[in-house]
Amino acid sequence: MISARRSETFPGRWASRHPLLDKLHIIGGTPLAGEVRIAGAKNAALPILAATLLADGPSIVGNVPHLHDITTTMELLGRIGVGLVVDERMRIEVDASSTRDFFAPYELVKTMRASILVLGPLLTRFGQATVSLPGGCAIGSRPVNLHIEGLRAMGADIEVANGYIRAKAKRLHGARLVLDLVTVTGTENLMMAAALAKGETVIENAAREPEVVDLADCLNSMGAQIQGAGTDRIEIQGVDRLQGTEYNVLPDRIETGTYLTAAAITRGKVKVRNTNPDLVEALLTKLAQAGAKIETGDDWIILDMEGRRPEAVDVHTAPYPAFPTDMQAQFTALNATARGVGTITETVFENRFMHVQEMQRMGARIRLEGNTAICSGVDRLTGAPVMATDLRASASLVLAGLWAEGQTIVERIYHIDRGYENIEEKLAGLGARIRRVPT
Protein backbone atom coordinates (compact mmCIF):
# COMPACT_ATOMS: atom_id res chain seq x y z
CA MET A 1 0.00 0.00 0.00
CA ILE A 2 1.01 3.54 -0.60
CA SER A 3 0.96 5.57 2.55
CA ALA A 4 1.85 9.12 3.39
CA ARG A 5 5.23 8.06 4.70
CA ARG A 6 7.94 9.16 2.33
CA SER A 7 10.11 6.12 3.00
CA GLU A 8 7.59 4.15 0.95
CA THR A 9 7.57 6.53 -1.96
CA PHE A 10 10.83 5.44 -3.51
CA PRO A 11 10.07 2.31 -5.47
CA GLY A 12 13.58 0.90 -5.76
CA ARG A 13 12.78 -1.89 -3.35
CA TRP A 14 10.53 -3.44 -5.96
CA ALA A 15 13.42 -3.85 -8.30
CA SER A 16 14.04 -7.47 -9.10
CA ARG A 17 16.22 -7.43 -12.20
CA HIS A 18 19.93 -7.08 -11.53
CA PRO A 19 21.75 -7.30 -14.82
CA LEU A 20 24.69 -9.18 -13.32
CA LEU A 21 25.31 -11.13 -16.47
CA ASP A 22 24.95 -8.39 -19.06
CA LYS A 23 27.88 -7.99 -21.45
CA LEU A 24 29.19 -5.22 -23.62
CA HIS A 25 29.99 -5.98 -27.24
CA ILE A 26 32.41 -3.52 -28.80
CA ILE A 27 33.73 -3.24 -32.32
CA GLY A 28 36.87 -1.13 -32.11
CA GLY A 29 38.44 1.34 -34.46
CA THR A 30 36.09 4.33 -34.52
CA PRO A 31 37.56 7.66 -33.38
CA LEU A 32 35.21 9.15 -30.81
CA ALA A 33 33.65 12.47 -31.73
CA GLY A 34 30.97 14.66 -30.21
CA GLU A 35 29.79 15.78 -26.81
CA VAL A 36 29.11 13.90 -23.62
CA ARG A 37 27.49 15.09 -20.40
CA ILE A 38 29.22 14.15 -17.19
CA ALA A 39 27.16 12.91 -14.24
CA GLY A 40 27.47 13.92 -10.63
CA ALA A 41 30.20 12.19 -8.66
CA LYS A 42 29.06 9.04 -6.92
CA ASN A 43 31.80 9.42 -4.32
CA ALA A 44 30.39 12.82 -3.38
CA ALA A 45 26.72 11.87 -3.68
CA LEU A 46 26.99 8.93 -1.28
CA PRO A 47 28.38 10.91 1.69
CA ILE A 48 26.07 13.83 0.94
CA LEU A 49 23.06 11.53 1.04
CA ALA A 50 24.36 10.20 4.36
CA ALA A 51 24.85 13.77 5.58
CA THR A 52 21.16 14.51 5.10
CA LEU A 53 20.62 12.34 8.20
CA LEU A 54 22.09 15.22 10.18
CA ALA A 55 19.48 17.81 9.20
CA ASP A 56 16.35 18.69 11.14
CA GLY A 57 14.40 19.41 7.96
CA PRO A 58 14.18 17.95 4.46
CA SER A 59 17.14 18.32 2.08
CA ILE A 60 17.17 18.19 -1.70
CA VAL A 61 20.21 16.68 -3.42
CA GLY A 62 20.64 17.30 -7.13
CA ASN A 63 23.00 16.15 -9.89
CA VAL A 64 22.92 12.65 -8.43
CA PRO A 65 24.20 10.00 -10.85
CA HIS A 66 21.89 7.18 -11.91
CA LEU A 67 23.88 4.36 -10.39
CA HIS A 68 23.12 1.23 -8.45
CA ASP A 69 25.07 2.36 -5.39
CA ILE A 70 22.81 5.39 -5.21
CA THR A 71 19.70 3.21 -5.20
CA THR A 72 21.37 0.97 -2.61
CA THR A 73 21.99 4.03 -0.44
CA MET A 74 18.38 5.08 -0.88
CA GLU A 75 17.27 1.61 0.10
CA LEU A 76 19.48 1.80 3.18
CA LEU A 77 18.11 5.21 4.14
CA GLY A 78 14.57 3.99 3.51
CA ARG A 79 15.10 1.03 5.84
CA ILE A 80 16.40 3.39 8.50
CA GLY A 81 13.07 5.18 8.16
CA VAL A 82 14.16 8.19 6.16
CA GLY A 83 11.61 9.65 3.76
CA LEU A 84 12.75 9.75 0.13
CA VAL A 85 11.18 11.19 -2.97
CA VAL A 86 12.79 11.45 -6.41
CA ASP A 87 11.39 14.40 -8.31
CA GLU A 88 11.03 14.91 -12.05
CA ARG A 89 14.47 16.52 -12.26
CA MET A 90 15.90 13.41 -10.63
CA ARG A 91 16.69 15.33 -7.48
CA ILE A 92 16.33 13.37 -4.28
CA GLU A 93 14.38 14.89 -1.41
CA VAL A 94 15.47 13.36 1.87
CA ASP A 95 13.62 13.85 5.14
CA ALA A 96 15.29 12.25 8.15
CA SER A 97 12.62 13.34 10.63
CA SER A 98 11.04 9.89 10.54
CA THR A 99 14.29 8.01 11.20
CA ARG A 100 13.52 5.14 13.56
CA ASP A 101 15.99 2.30 13.00
CA PHE A 102 19.67 3.02 13.43
CA PHE A 103 20.82 -0.10 11.70
CA ALA A 104 22.75 -0.85 8.49
CA PRO A 105 22.46 -4.59 7.82
CA TYR A 106 25.14 -6.83 6.38
CA GLU A 107 23.06 -7.61 3.29
CA LEU A 108 23.37 -3.97 2.18
CA VAL A 109 26.81 -3.10 3.56
CA LYS A 110 28.37 -6.12 1.87
CA THR A 111 27.24 -4.81 -1.51
CA MET A 112 28.46 -1.29 -0.87
CA ARG A 113 31.28 -0.40 1.49
CA ALA A 114 30.18 3.24 1.50
CA SER A 115 27.28 2.18 3.74
CA ILE A 116 29.73 2.77 6.59
CA LEU A 117 29.11 6.47 5.95
CA VAL A 118 25.86 6.34 7.94
CA LEU A 119 27.80 5.45 11.10
CA GLY A 120 28.98 8.96 11.96
CA PRO A 121 25.72 10.78 11.15
CA LEU A 122 23.47 8.28 12.97
CA LEU A 123 25.69 8.28 16.04
CA THR A 124 26.08 12.03 16.33
CA ARG A 125 22.44 12.87 15.56
CA PHE A 126 20.58 10.03 17.23
CA GLY A 127 23.12 8.74 19.75
CA GLN A 128 23.25 5.20 18.42
CA ALA A 129 24.17 3.21 15.34
CA THR A 130 24.67 -0.42 14.45
CA VAL A 131 26.48 -0.89 11.16
CA SER A 132 27.74 -4.10 9.65
CA LEU A 133 31.47 -4.34 9.06
CA PRO A 134 32.15 -4.20 5.33
CA GLY A 135 33.46 -7.33 3.74
CA GLY A 136 36.73 -7.77 1.89
CA CYS A 137 37.61 -5.81 -1.18
CA ALA A 138 39.11 -6.95 -4.43
CA ILE A 139 41.49 -4.01 -4.71
CA GLY A 140 43.18 -4.16 -1.35
CA SER A 141 42.54 -3.50 2.29
CA ARG A 142 40.58 -0.43 3.24
CA PRO A 143 40.27 -0.64 7.01
CA VAL A 144 37.45 0.96 8.99
CA ASN A 145 39.38 1.04 12.24
CA LEU A 146 40.22 4.70 11.66
CA HIS A 147 36.52 5.52 11.66
CA ILE A 148 36.06 3.60 14.90
CA GLU A 149 39.12 5.03 16.66
CA GLY A 150 38.15 8.55 15.68
CA LEU A 151 34.63 8.19 17.00
CA ARG A 152 35.94 6.65 20.23
CA ALA A 153 38.23 9.65 20.66
CA MET A 154 35.09 11.80 20.37
CA GLY A 155 33.48 9.93 23.25
CA ALA A 156 31.61 7.12 21.54
CA ASP A 157 31.20 3.78 23.24
CA ILE A 158 31.86 1.28 20.45
CA GLU A 159 31.78 -2.49 20.47
CA VAL A 160 32.76 -4.57 17.47
CA ALA A 161 31.27 -8.03 17.68
CA ASN A 162 29.56 -10.60 15.46
CA GLY A 163 30.42 -8.64 12.34
CA TYR A 164 28.79 -5.45 13.52
CA ILE A 165 29.94 -2.08 14.83
CA ARG A 166 27.63 -1.08 17.69
CA ALA A 167 28.12 2.52 18.72
CA LYS A 168 26.48 4.67 21.38
CA ALA A 169 27.07 8.17 22.66
CA LYS A 170 25.09 10.77 24.58
CA ARG A 171 26.70 13.59 22.66
CA LEU A 172 30.02 13.37 20.94
CA HIS A 173 32.66 15.89 21.91
CA GLY A 174 35.34 17.54 19.85
CA ALA A 175 38.78 15.97 19.67
CA ARG A 176 42.07 16.19 17.82
CA LEU A 177 42.12 13.27 15.42
CA VAL A 178 45.34 12.28 13.69
CA LEU A 179 44.62 9.75 10.95
CA ASP A 180 47.35 7.13 10.49
CA LEU A 181 46.40 6.74 6.85
CA VAL A 182 44.76 9.14 4.45
CA THR A 183 41.20 7.86 4.18
CA VAL A 184 38.44 9.57 2.24
CA THR A 185 35.47 7.83 3.84
CA GLY A 186 37.16 8.03 7.24
CA THR A 187 37.63 11.78 6.89
CA GLU A 188 34.02 12.14 5.72
CA ASN A 189 32.55 10.02 8.50
CA LEU A 190 34.45 11.87 11.20
CA MET A 191 33.69 15.27 9.67
CA MET A 192 29.97 14.49 9.70
CA ALA A 193 30.15 13.21 13.28
CA ALA A 194 32.05 16.32 14.38
CA ALA A 195 29.53 18.66 12.77
CA LEU A 196 27.07 18.02 15.62
CA ALA A 197 29.64 17.28 18.35
CA LYS A 198 30.20 19.60 21.27
CA GLY A 199 33.25 21.79 20.75
CA GLU A 200 36.03 21.78 18.21
CA THR A 201 37.33 18.80 16.28
CA VAL A 202 40.53 18.91 14.27
CA ILE A 203 41.24 16.18 11.73
CA GLU A 204 44.93 15.94 10.88
CA ASN A 205 46.20 14.06 7.83
CA ALA A 206 42.74 14.44 6.35
CA ALA A 207 41.93 13.38 2.80
CA ARG A 208 42.08 16.33 0.39
CA GLU A 209 39.88 14.95 -2.37
CA PRO A 210 37.32 17.25 -4.02
CA GLU A 211 34.55 14.94 -2.82
CA VAL A 212 35.57 15.74 0.79
CA VAL A 213 35.41 19.44 -0.05
CA ASP A 214 31.99 18.95 -1.64
CA LEU A 215 30.70 17.25 1.51
CA ALA A 216 32.11 20.07 3.65
CA ASP A 217 30.44 22.65 1.39
CA CYS A 218 27.15 20.77 1.67
CA LEU A 219 27.45 20.55 5.48
CA ASN A 220 28.28 24.24 5.69
CA SER A 221 25.18 25.00 3.63
CA MET A 222 23.25 23.12 6.35
CA GLY A 223 24.77 25.38 9.00
CA ALA A 224 27.91 23.47 9.93
CA GLN A 225 31.14 25.31 10.66
CA ILE A 226 33.90 23.53 8.79
CA GLN A 227 37.13 25.06 7.62
CA GLY A 228 40.17 23.66 5.87
CA ALA A 229 38.49 21.04 3.67
CA GLY A 230 40.79 20.43 0.74
CA THR A 231 43.85 20.63 2.98
CA ASP A 232 45.21 17.94 5.28
CA ARG A 233 43.91 19.77 8.37
CA ILE A 234 40.16 20.23 8.77
CA GLU A 235 38.71 22.19 11.68
CA ILE A 236 35.09 21.67 12.68
CA GLN A 237 33.26 23.73 15.28
CA GLY A 238 30.36 21.56 16.35
CA VAL A 239 26.87 23.11 16.30
CA ASP A 240 23.68 22.10 18.10
CA ARG A 241 21.62 21.50 14.99
CA LEU A 242 21.74 21.52 11.22
CA GLN A 243 18.97 22.49 8.85
CA GLY A 244 17.92 21.02 5.53
CA THR A 245 19.60 22.27 2.40
CA GLU A 246 19.40 22.18 -1.37
CA TYR A 247 22.67 21.07 -2.89
CA ASN A 248 24.00 19.90 -6.25
CA VAL A 249 26.71 17.25 -6.24
CA LEU A 250 29.95 18.14 -8.02
CA PRO A 251 30.78 16.53 -11.40
CA ASP A 252 32.47 13.16 -11.52
CA ARG A 253 36.15 13.74 -12.23
CA ILE A 254 36.84 10.06 -12.94
CA GLU A 255 34.03 9.82 -15.47
CA THR A 256 35.39 13.03 -16.98
CA GLY A 257 38.86 11.52 -17.21
CA THR A 258 37.59 8.24 -18.59
CA TYR A 259 35.81 9.86 -21.57
CA LEU A 260 38.78 12.12 -22.25
CA THR A 261 41.11 9.12 -22.17
CA ALA A 262 38.75 7.19 -24.46
CA ALA A 263 38.95 10.06 -26.92
CA ALA A 264 42.75 10.07 -26.71
CA ILE A 265 42.99 6.31 -27.26
CA THR A 266 40.75 6.46 -30.33
CA ARG A 267 42.50 9.52 -31.81
CA GLY A 268 39.21 11.37 -31.50
CA LYS A 269 37.83 14.76 -30.56
CA VAL A 270 35.39 14.98 -27.68
CA LYS A 271 33.83 17.75 -25.62
CA VAL A 272 32.85 16.81 -22.09
CA ARG A 273 30.17 19.05 -20.59
CA ASN A 274 28.88 19.62 -17.06
CA THR A 275 32.32 19.06 -15.61
CA ASN A 276 34.98 21.11 -13.84
CA PRO A 277 38.44 21.30 -15.41
CA ASP A 278 39.98 22.27 -12.06
CA LEU A 279 39.15 18.80 -10.74
CA VAL A 280 41.24 17.01 -13.36
CA GLU A 281 44.38 19.10 -13.69
CA ALA A 282 46.76 16.20 -13.16
CA LEU A 283 44.91 14.19 -15.79
CA LEU A 284 44.89 17.01 -18.30
CA THR A 285 48.64 17.43 -17.85
CA LYS A 286 49.19 13.76 -18.67
CA LEU A 287 46.80 13.83 -21.61
CA ALA A 288 48.61 16.86 -22.98
CA GLN A 289 51.89 14.95 -22.61
CA ALA A 290 50.26 12.17 -24.61
CA GLY A 291 49.78 14.62 -27.44
CA ALA A 292 46.24 15.84 -26.89
CA LYS A 293 45.22 19.41 -27.67
CA ILE A 294 43.11 20.55 -24.76
CA GLU A 295 40.81 23.51 -24.37
CA THR A 296 38.83 24.27 -21.23
CA GLY A 297 35.95 26.51 -20.16
CA ASP A 298 34.09 26.98 -16.91
CA ASP A 299 32.30 23.65 -17.13
CA TRP A 300 33.65 21.95 -20.22
CA ILE A 301 36.80 20.41 -21.69
CA ILE A 302 37.60 19.67 -25.32
CA LEU A 303 40.22 17.05 -26.12
CA ASP A 304 41.41 16.77 -29.69
CA MET A 305 44.02 14.25 -30.85
CA GLU A 306 43.86 15.62 -34.40
CA GLY A 307 43.92 12.03 -35.59
CA ARG A 308 47.30 11.29 -34.03
CA ARG A 309 48.33 8.21 -32.11
CA PRO A 310 48.95 9.07 -28.43
CA GLU A 311 52.46 9.08 -26.98
CA ALA A 312 53.13 6.82 -23.99
CA VAL A 313 53.30 8.61 -20.63
CA ASP A 314 54.66 7.80 -17.18
CA VAL A 315 52.11 7.87 -14.40
CA HIS A 316 52.52 7.66 -10.64
CA THR A 317 49.31 7.42 -8.64
CA ALA A 318 48.95 9.29 -5.37
CA PRO A 319 46.19 10.97 -3.35
CA TYR A 320 44.59 14.12 -4.76
CA PRO A 321 45.70 16.48 -6.24
CA ALA A 322 48.16 14.03 -7.82
CA PHE A 323 47.20 11.49 -10.47
CA PRO A 324 44.22 9.45 -9.18
CA THR A 325 44.44 5.72 -8.66
CA ASP A 326 40.96 5.47 -10.17
CA MET A 327 42.43 6.53 -13.55
CA GLN A 328 45.48 4.28 -13.72
CA ALA A 329 43.72 1.37 -15.43
CA GLN A 330 42.39 3.67 -18.15
CA PHE A 331 45.90 5.07 -18.66
CA THR A 332 47.21 1.51 -18.88
CA ALA A 333 44.85 1.12 -21.86
CA LEU A 334 46.16 4.39 -23.26
CA ASN A 335 49.79 3.29 -22.94
CA ALA A 336 48.92 -0.12 -24.39
CA THR A 337 48.01 1.57 -27.68
CA ALA A 338 50.42 4.53 -27.55
CA ARG A 339 53.71 5.12 -29.28
CA GLY A 340 56.67 4.27 -27.05
CA VAL A 341 57.09 2.85 -23.57
CA GLY A 342 55.23 4.18 -20.54
CA THR A 343 55.16 3.12 -16.91
CA ILE A 344 52.23 3.09 -14.55
CA THR A 345 53.16 2.99 -10.87
CA GLU A 346 50.36 2.27 -8.40
CA THR A 347 51.06 3.52 -4.88
CA VAL A 348 47.57 3.77 -3.40
CA PHE A 349 46.04 0.29 -3.52
CA GLU A 350 47.42 -3.23 -3.61
CA ASN A 351 46.32 -5.71 -6.28
CA ARG A 352 45.20 -3.10 -8.73
CA PHE A 353 46.65 -4.48 -11.95
CA MET A 354 44.13 -7.21 -12.59
CA HIS A 355 43.20 -5.60 -15.90
CA VAL A 356 46.73 -6.16 -17.21
CA GLN A 357 46.31 -9.87 -17.77
CA GLU A 358 43.10 -9.27 -19.70
CA MET A 359 44.77 -6.59 -21.84
CA GLN A 360 47.60 -9.01 -22.56
CA ARG A 361 44.93 -11.33 -23.99
CA MET A 362 44.06 -8.47 -26.33
CA GLY A 363 47.65 -8.28 -27.52
CA ALA A 364 48.93 -5.59 -25.16
CA ARG A 365 52.63 -5.73 -24.33
CA ILE A 366 52.68 -5.05 -20.61
CA ARG A 367 55.16 -6.31 -18.02
CA LEU A 368 54.51 -6.12 -14.31
CA GLU A 369 57.35 -5.37 -11.90
CA GLY A 370 56.01 -5.06 -8.38
CA ASN A 371 53.60 -2.14 -8.32
CA THR A 372 54.66 -0.91 -11.76
CA ALA A 373 53.23 -1.81 -15.16
CA ILE A 374 55.63 -1.22 -18.05
CA CYS A 375 53.72 -0.84 -21.30
CA SER A 376 55.17 -0.98 -24.81
CA GLY A 377 52.40 0.33 -26.99
CA VAL A 378 51.06 -1.53 -30.02
CA ASP A 379 49.26 0.25 -32.84
CA ARG A 380 46.07 -1.79 -32.49
CA LEU A 381 44.93 -4.29 -29.90
CA THR A 382 42.92 -7.32 -30.97
CA GLY A 383 39.38 -7.97 -29.79
CA ALA A 384 38.81 -10.75 -27.29
CA PRO A 385 36.38 -11.87 -24.62
CA VAL A 386 37.56 -10.28 -21.38
CA MET A 387 36.30 -9.74 -17.88
CA ALA A 388 37.47 -7.81 -14.89
CA THR A 389 37.12 -7.76 -11.18
CA ASP A 390 36.70 -4.12 -10.35
CA LEU A 391 35.08 -1.01 -11.67
CA ARG A 392 38.00 0.88 -13.15
CA ALA A 393 39.59 -2.27 -14.55
CA SER A 394 36.35 -2.98 -16.38
CA ALA A 395 36.25 0.55 -17.76
CA SER A 396 39.82 0.20 -18.97
CA LEU A 397 38.87 -2.93 -20.90
CA VAL A 398 36.04 -1.06 -22.60
CA LEU A 399 38.52 1.64 -23.58
CA ALA A 400 40.94 -0.97 -24.87
CA GLY A 401 38.11 -2.54 -26.86
CA LEU A 402 37.35 0.80 -28.50
CA TRP A 403 40.72 0.61 -30.25
CA ALA A 404 40.95 -3.12 -30.85
CA GLU A 405 40.60 -4.91 -34.19
CA GLY A 406 37.37 -6.86 -34.27
CA GLN A 407 34.98 -7.57 -31.44
CA THR A 408 35.70 -7.30 -27.75
CA ILE A 409 33.20 -8.77 -25.31
CA VAL A 410 33.45 -7.37 -21.81
CA GLU A 411 31.86 -9.60 -19.20
CA ARG A 412 30.85 -8.84 -15.63
CA ILE A 413 29.91 -5.30 -16.53
CA TYR A 414 28.03 -4.89 -13.29
CA HIS A 415 31.36 -3.51 -12.10
CA ILE A 416 31.13 -0.75 -14.71
CA ASP A 417 27.51 -0.06 -13.90
CA ARG A 418 28.54 0.76 -10.33
CA GLY A 419 30.53 3.76 -11.45
CA TYR A 420 29.44 4.81 -14.93
CA GLU A 421 25.97 6.05 -15.76
CA ASN A 422 24.79 4.56 -19.09
CA ILE A 423 28.33 4.06 -20.35
CA GLU A 424 27.28 2.29 -23.53
CA GLU A 425 24.73 4.99 -24.39
CA LYS A 426 27.24 7.77 -23.81
CA LEU A 427 29.96 6.05 -25.84
CA ALA A 428 27.50 5.21 -28.60
CA GLY A 429 26.54 8.89 -28.63
CA LEU A 430 30.19 9.62 -29.39
CA GLY A 431 30.17 7.21 -32.30
CA ALA A 432 31.48 4.07 -30.64
CA ARG A 433 30.15 0.77 -31.89
CA ILE A 434 29.08 -0.63 -28.57
CA ARG A 435 25.97 -2.35 -27.30
CA ARG A 436 24.78 -4.00 -24.14
CA VAL A 437 23.76 -7.61 -24.50
CA PRO A 438 21.44 -8.74 -21.73
CA THR A 439 21.52 -12.38 -20.73
Partner 1 sequence: MSEASINRRGSKICLEGELSFATAAGLLREAAPLLEKGSDRLLLDLKGVKRADSAGLALLLEWVAQCRRRGRPILCQHLPESLLDIARFSNVLHLLPLRG
- Nearer of residues 15 and 368 to partner 1, judged by Cβ: 15
Stretch that binds partner 1, among 83-91, 130-138, 311-319, 348-356 (CB under 8 A): 83-91
With binding defined as CB under 8 A, does residue 425 bind partner 1? no
- How buried is residue 3: exposed, middle or buried, by Cβ count under 10 Å (0-12/13-18/19+)? exposed
Question: Could you tell me which residues come within 8 angstroms of residue 11 by beta carbon, excluding any fewer than 6 positions away?
Answer: none
Which of 16, 141, 162, 439 forms a contact with partner 1 (CB under 8 A)?
16
- How buried is residue 70: exposed, middle or buried, by Cβ count under 10 Å (0-12/13-18/19+)? buried
- Nearer of residues 87 and 299 to partner 1, judged by Cβ: 87
375 catalytic per annotation: no
With binding defined as CB under 8 A, does residue 14 bind partner 1? yes
- Nearer of residues 1 and 161 to partner 1, judged by Cβ: 1
In single-letter form, the type of residue at position 351 comes to: N
With binding defined as CB under 8 A, does residue 403 bind partner 1? no
- Nearer of residues 13 and 293 to partner 1, judged by Cβ: 13
With binding defined as CB under 8 A, does residue 88 bind partner 1? yes
With binding defined as CB under 8 A, does residue 437 bind partner 1? no
CB atoms within 10 A of CB 237: 15
- Nearer of residues 31 and 65 to partner 1, judged by Cβ: 65
With binding defined as CB under 8 A, does residue 111 bind partner 1? no
Size of the site for partner 1 (CB under 8 A): 25
List, edge to edge, every strand of the sheet that includes 293-296.
Answer: 33-37, 269-273, 300-304, 293-296
CB atoms within 10 A of CB 378: 16
Residues paired with 296 in a beta bridge:
301
Q: In angstroms, give the least distance from the CB of 20 to partner 1.
A: 12
Stretch that binds partner 1, among 1-9, 181-189, 236-244, 262-270 (CB under 8 A): 1-9
With binding defined as CB under 8 A, does residue 6 bind partner 1? yes
Stretch that binds partner 1, among 5-13, 103-111, 176-184, 364-372 (CB under 8 A): 5-13
Stretch that binds partner 1, among 9-17, 143-151, 239-247, 313-321 (CB under 8 A): 9-17
- Residue 59 contacts residue 246 (beta carbons within 8 Å): yes
Dist. CA 85–CA 21, nearest whole Å: 30
- Residue 309 contacts residue 267 (beta carbons within 8 Å): yes
The full length of the chain comes to 439
- Nearer of residues 61 and 375 to partner 1, judged by Cβ: 61
Max CA-CA distance within the chain?
63
- How buried is residue 298: exposed, middle or buried, by Cβ count under 10 Å (0-12/13-18/19+)? exposed
| Annotated active-site residue in 21, 137, 178, 437 | 137
Which of 20, 90, 160, 437 forms a contact with partner 1 (CB under 8 A)?
90
- Nearer of residues 6 and 418 to partner 1, judged by Cβ: 6
With binding defined as CB under 8 A, does residue 418 bind partner 1? no
With binding defined as CB under 8 A, does residue 17 bind partner 1? yes
What would the x/- binding string for partner 1 be over residues 292 to 331, using CB under 8 A?
Answer: ----------------------------------------
With binding defined as CB under 8 A, does residue 158 bind partner 1? no
Which of 4, 162, 298, 307 forms a contact with partner 1 (CB under 8 A)?
4
Q: In angstroms, give the least distance from the CB of 67 to partner 1.
A: 9
With binding defined as CB under 8 A, does residue 2 bind partner 1? yes
Q: In angstroms, give the least distance from the CB of 379 to partner 1.
A: 39
Stretch that binds partner 1, among 6-14, 262-270, 325-333, 395-403 (CB under 8 A): 6-14
With binding defined as CB under 8 A, does residue 12 bind partner 1? yes
With binding defined as CB under 8 A, does residue 1 bind partner 1? yes
Interactions with partner 1, residue window 40-79 (CB under 8 A): 66, 68, 71
Q: What are the residues binding partner 1 (CB under 8 A)?
A: 1-4, 6, 8-12, 14-18, 66, 68, 71, 84-90
Report, as residue numbers or ranges, the catalytic residues: 137
